[in-house]
Amino acid sequence: MPDKLLLDDVRFYGQHGTTKAEQALGAWFSVDAELSLDLAAAALSDDLGATVDYGQVAHRIVEIGTRNRVNLLERLASLIAEALLREFPTQEVRVRVRKLTPPLEGLVGTPGVELTRRR
């Protein structure tokens, strides 16, 4: 079973959504990412070069989340998952995206999606 690098609650502000209010006002988003990879070398060496720098992962998540507007959380999660698989040495990623402040009247709770992608 591979080890996992976890990054929880990476936040950014974006204008994702299908309504004019969501596109105009925007909302805060939170992303959790889980990358499956072998962390044994890093655990032994204590060397950042032997692992994935979670700061780079966080930066990439924010970059994707703030660069282009999308309608659906599913699409945003997919863009993030695809990029992490392509750019980091992981065999599997799990990405959870939540819209923290949806500008929708009457909504109770935090909408979100979770996707798992493998090579």
Supply the residues annotated as catalytic.
Answer: 99
DSSP-derived pairing of the beta strands 3-14 and 27-37: antiparallel
Query: What residues does 5 pair with on adjacent strands?
Result: 35
Query: What residues does 31 pair with on adjacent strands?
Result: 10, 97
The alpha carbon of residue 40 and the mean position of all alpha carbons in its chain are separated, in whole angstroms, by 24
Rounded to 5 degrees, φ, ψ at 118 are -125, 160
